[in-house]
Amino acid sequence: MEPIITAFLAVHIVSGTGALFCGALPIFAPKRKGFHTRWGKCFAACMWGVLGSAIVLTLISRNAYFAALTTSATLGCFSGLRALRRKRPDVRQDDRATGLDWAVTIAALGVALLLAGLQVQGHVKGTPAVVWSLLAGAFVVGGYDLLRFAFPAAWPFFPRLWFYEHLVKILTSYAAVLSAFSGSIAFRFLPDPWKQLWAPIAVQILILGMILWYARQNRRRASAAAGG
Amino acid sequence: MRLHAALQRRWAAAAVAFALIVTIVAAVLTLASGRHAAGVPARWGELVVWQALVYGSWVPIGAVVDRLVRRSGLTARLALLLYACGLPLAAAHAAFATGLDVLFSPAARAPEAAGHWAARMPIDLLVYLAVATFVVAVRAQQLAAEAADRAAGLAAALDAARAAAARASPGAAEPPAHLFVSVGSRRMVVDVAEVEWFASAGNYVVVNWEEREGLIRETLSALEQRLDPAVFARSHRSTIVNLARVREAASLADGSWRLVMSGGAELVVSRTYRDGVLERLRR
């Protein structure tokens, strides 16, 4: 079993390092086909390497804490990428959630519920605050996604919602990679929980700024198109 | 529009309530595990009140941020203001939450409060940023939805005016009985009565009939003027439906409607065109 664990651990570390560098490039690039999509695909491929190896390692080690971490990260990354295929569900039937979206989200919520049950019974090793935070994050993202799948044209839908959903969810996935890198490798000298949380804080500052920036840009474009 | 805004506010409040309840439940369960491990009884009521005070206190902070966002608009000044408020607000909230922790927790001691406050700071910074992002996102969504509604209303009024002008003109042509449609490299003659719906694709129109589709090089608005208004109706900015081919209609949660066509396709009737389409379907 040891060589298998070492092999998947190597995949996990190499993919994680790749995601860390590939993921930084499309963030500031113009959001159109070309550089952004090319490096975005590299980031997605690395993330699947990270999450795939994490799933295998979780199953081997039967560690519920890693399972919570993997479930939450997989759901965020999957949902952020799938948002690109659900741009206009109000006009195109093909842009509505498919069986795959429903299956992955319900499965992730099922795993999260199971882990919550195990945590309540005291069977989970790891800091309870971190495990419950991860599970709560999975419930919020999964619950939001299920509502969007069931009522795709209801609030908060508007034609550019996919853009913001993609932005928030993918940047949150990137924050998870940065946080893991910081907590376990680069910034171990910082006190807890700063060494794990500075990355999500920095990324959240970026998300807030980017939402404001793009909302302003879209309003300017809309008023220019209307001749105002 | 006012009813729509009220509905949006209600949805936003429901989203806040959902996130708040999940957070409080997670925090209560975290503390209960700690007490269980220390062999102390959980005392659920006390834990719920404690965590409801800690996380519920973000609601008035969110309301203040909301006011700020509404007053400033989505500007660079707002971004600077939100960033500048972050540290003092998070520091003040961390102090408030630390006070509650000392008050409610038998393990927390006042002399250790400074360390406790320092450990709380990054969490409160993160929560503040999440609250500010949610408020900004809701406002951006509201403004974008209002702009889309206004644009659709203007487009509908323009289409109606064009149709009325075409009907009033003495030389107005009869609606065509057939359309010349490109399907791949071939051209086909399609009976207009067999068409289920037309969809806009830039300067082209996608024609859907008998589960097939083809293209016409014409804009949707130009085609609409040539079609028989007794048979075809605009259901969305980008679709025209054949009313005779509608099999089923059902309302959706946001006030729009879903039409099921005779071929099984599902189309959305936006709020702008809803009343007109439903009225004509009833006739």
Residue of chain B whose Cα is closest to the Cα of A168: B133
Query: What average pLDDT does range B48-61 have in this prediction?
Result: 96
Average pLDDT over residues B246-265: 83
Q: What residues in A contact B119, CB-CB < 8 Å?
A: 191-193
**Closest-CA residue in chain B for A211?**
B137
**A158 chain-B contacts, CB cut-off 8 A:** 141, 144-145, 148
pLDDT greater than 70 at residue B169: no
What residues in B contact A212, CB-CB < 8 Å?
74-76, 78-79, 136, 140
Higher pLDDT, B221 or B136: B136
| B236:A156 CB<8 A | no
B216-245: average pLDDT: 87
A17 contact partners, CB below 8 Å, separation of at least 6: A181
Mean pLDDT, range A33-43, rounded to an integer:
93
- Put simply, whether A186 touches B (Cβ < 8 Å) is no
Residue A90 forms contact with B (CB below 8 Å): yes
Q: Which residues of B touch A121 (CB under 8 A)?
A: none
pLDDT digits (tens, 9 = 90+) for A166-180: 999 999 999 988 988
pLDDT of residue B55: 96
Chain B CA closest to residue A154: B254
Give the whole-number percent of chain B exceeding pLDDT 90: 35
Quickly state the pLDDT bin for A228 (edges 50, 70, 90): very low
Please give the pLDDT value at position B281. Answer: 79
Judge: B79–A122 Cβ closer than 8 Å, yes or no: no
pLDDT at A83 over 80: yes
Q: Give the residue from chain A lying closest to B134, CA to CA.
A: A208
Confirm or reject contact between A4 and chain B (CB < 8 A).
no
How many Cβ atoms are within 10 Å of A9's Cβ, its own excluded?
13
Cα separation of B33 and B162, whole Å?
69
- Mutation site, B30, B78, B105, interface A, largest A CB count within 10 A: B30
- Over its C-alpha atoms, chain B yields an Rg (Å, rounded) of 29
B208: which chain A residues are within 8 Å (Cβ-Cβ)? Answer: none
Q: What is the mean pLDDT of residues A135-151?
A: 92
Tell me whether residues A211 and B265 touch, CB distance under 8 A.
no
For tokens 């406050």, name the residue. Answer: B117
Domains and CATH numbers, chain B: 2-151 (no CATH), 178-282 (2.40.50.1020)
**In this structure, are residues B66 and B136 in contact, taking their beta carbons and an 8 Å threshold?**
no
Q: Residue B166: pLDDT band by 50, 70, 90 thresholds?
A: low
Neighbours of B67 (CB within 10 A): 11
Determine how many CB atoms are found less than 10 A away from the CB of residue B190. 18
Please tell me if residue A117 touches chain B, with a CB cutoff of 8 Å.
no
Query: A157: which chain B residues are within 8 Å (Cβ-Cβ)?
Result: 254
Residue B254 has pLDDT above 80, yes or no: no
Query: Which tops the pLDDT comparison, A187 or A83?
Result: A83
Q: Does residue B36 have a pLDDT over 50? A: yes
- Strand partners for B268: B258
Reference A89, options B254, B246, B93; nearest CA is B254
Q: Where are the beta strands (DSSP E) in B164-245?
A: 178-183, 186-191, 195-201, 204-209, 212-216, 232-236, 239-242
pLDDT averaged over every residue in chain B? 85
Optimal mutation site among A146, A155, A192, A216, interface B, most CBs of chain B within 10 A: A155
Does residue A49 surpass a pLDDT of 70?
yes
Tokens found for residue B155: 């487009």
Residue B235 to residues A155, A220, B231, B264, Cα–Cα distance (Å): 20, 27, 12, 17
Q: Mean pLDDT of all residues in chain A? A: 88
**A116 to chain B: which residues are within 8 Å by CB?**
29
Complete DSSP assignment for B68-92:
HHHHH-SSHHHHHHHHHHHHHHHHH
A147 interface with B at CB cutoff 8 Å: no
Closest residue, chain A, to B18 (C-alpha): A140
**Residue A226 confidence (pLDDT) above 60:** no
Residue B92 is predicted with a pLDDT of 95
B74 and A91: CB-CB below 8 Å? Answer: no
Subunit contact B30:A128, Cβ cutoff 8 A: yes
Q: Under 8 Å CB-to-CB from A106, ≥6 apart: which residues? A: A146
Lowest mean pLDDT among A183-197, B57-71, B85-99, B214-228: A183-197
The continuous run of DSSP H or E covering B249 comes out as strand B246-251
Residue A18 has pLDDT above 60, yes or no: yes
pLDDT in tens, B71-109: 988 888 999 999 999 999 999 999 999 999 888 886 666
Which chain B positions have a beta carbon within 8 Å of A140's beta carbon?
Answer: 18-19, 22
A224 vs B: CB within 8 A: no
